[in-house]
Amino acid sequence: MALRALVGVKRVIDYAVKIRVKPDKTGVVTDGVKHSMNPFCEIAVEEAVRLKEKKIVSEIIVVSCGPQQCQETIRTALAMGADRGIHVDVSGKDYESLGPFQVSKILAALAKKENVNLVLLGKQAIDDDCNQTGQMTAAVLDWPQGTFASEVKVEGEKLKVVREIDGGLETISIKLPAVVTADLRLNEPRYATLPNIMKAKKKKIETVKPEDLGITLTSRVQILSVEEPPQRQAGLKVETTEDLVTKLKEVGRI
C-alpha cells in the first residue's frame, strides 16, 4: 500500500545560536537572529523522502504553522524532496501563543483533509522543548503513535518502530494510519543540492488560515515571564590530577 505522508516542520532559532533573553522578560530575542529548520524536523523530512525513494510513500506534503518566513522552511523541505507544501498562516498574537495544543489540532485537521495515513514529526522543537505535538496529534486523530523513533519499517498495514527509551531500545508494532516522531538517530538528513533548491522553487505552497480548517486558536496557557537561568560562578583551574583529587576531597565530593 502506498502511503501518503504529512510532515510537520518548524522554523526555530538555529541550534548553534546562543540565545538572549529580552530585558522585559517577555521572551527571547528573535529579530535579526539566524533561524533554520528544527533539526528533528529535518530528520522527519529525510525519513519521508527515504520512504518515497523506497516507493512506500507516494506523496509527501510538508506543513508549517507560523508567519510568512515559515515558507522558507517549507522550501527547504521541498528541496530535500517533499512534493508540495502547506503554510498555515499564523501571525501576531496568535503566533506568540501558538503551541503544541493548537498545532496538533491543525495537523490533525490537515491529515484528514489531505487523506494521509502517516504523519511524521520531530520528537521535539529545540526552542520550546515541549515534546508534545506528535503525541497530541495522534490523540486528536485517535491514531497510534511511534514516538522517539530510531528505525521505521513498513510491514503491510502496520509500522514496526524501534523507539529510544530510557534503558535502551524498544520495538513496537502500530497499525496504520499512524503518527511517528523522529529521534536523532533515525537518519542523517541530506543536504539540498543547488539543482534541487531550484526545482523546489517551482513546487507549490498553498497558504491556508487556521479558520479555513475550522480551528480557533485560543490558548489557556500564558507565559508570565522568560528569564535568564542562574549563572554558575567561575571555577578554578587546577594544575595536576593530584590537585584535582585533593580539591574534590576538600569539598566533600569524593
Partner 1 sequence: MLRIVSARSLSRGATSLLQRFQSTLVIAEHDNEKLIPITLNAISAAKRLGGEVSCLVAGTNCSKVAGELSKVQGVAKIFVAQHEAYKGFLPEELTPLILATQKQFNFTHICAGASAFGKGLLPRVAAKLDVAPVSDIIEIKSSDTFVRTIYAGNALCTVKCDEPVKVFSVRGTSFEAAPVSGGNASSQEAPPPSPAGLSEWVEQNLTKSDRPELTSAKVVVSGGRGLKSGENFKLLYDLADLLNAAVGASRAAVDAGFVPNDMQIGQTGKIVAPELYIAVGISGAIQHLAGMKDSKTIVAINKDPEAPIFQVADFGLVADLFKAIPEMVDILKKK
Residue from the set 8, 135, 187, 189 that interacts with partner 1 by CB under 8 A: 135
DSSP letter at 219 equals: -
31 secondary structure, DSSP code: T
- Toward partner 1, which CB reaches closer, 155 or 211? 155
C-alpha cell at 13: 532559532
Q: Which CB, 2 or 238, lies closer to partner 1?
A: 238
Q: Which position among 77, 148, 152, 215 is part of the footprint of partner 1 (CB under 8 A)? A: 148
Q: Minimum Å distance from CB 195 to partner 1?
A: 29
Compute CA 18 distance to the chain's CA centroid, rounded to the nearest angstrom.
19
Residues in region 156-195 near partner 1 by CB under 8 A: 160, 163-175, 183-185
Task: Choose, by CB under 8 A, the member of 56, 197, 205, 244 that binds partner 1.
Answer: 244
Peptide bond into 100 cis (omega under 30): no
Q: Which helix (H) or strand (E) holds 77?
A: helix 70-80
Closest CA to 9 of 97, 92, 106: 106
Using rule CB under 8 A, residue 143 touches partner 1:
yes
In order of 64, 117, 138, 184, 185, the CA distances from 163 in angstroms are: 25, 20, 16, 11, 10
Task: Considering the complex, state which of residue 160 and residue 199 has its C-beta at the smaller distance from partner 1.
Answer: 160
Q: Counting contacts by CB under 8 A, is residue 210 touching partner 1?
A: no
Query: Which residues, at least 6 apart from 41, have a Cβ–Cβ distance to it below 8 Å?
Result: 7, 8, 9, 10, 73, 77, 121, 122, 125
Looking at the Cβ atoms of 78 and 103, the one nearer to partner 1 is 103
Radius of gyration of the chain (CA): 21
Scan residues 95-134 and list those touching partner 1 (CB under 8 A).
99-101, 104, 123-124, 126-134
Closest approach of partner 1 to the CB of residue 89, in Å: 21
Amino acid at 56: I
| Only segment of 2-10, 14-22, 70-78, 82-90 that touches partner 1 (CB under 8 A) | 14-22
Instruction: Choose the stretch contacting partner 1; rule: CB under 8 A; options: 44-52, 65-73, 83-91, 214-222.
Output: 214-222
Nearer to partner 1, 202 or 225 (CB): 225
Residue 74 or 118 with smaller CB distance to partner 1: 118
Helix axes 100-113, 133-141, angle to 10 degrees: 50
Kindly tell me which of 18 and 54 has the beta carbon lying closer to partner 1: 18
Site for partner 1 in 54-83 (CB under 8 A): none
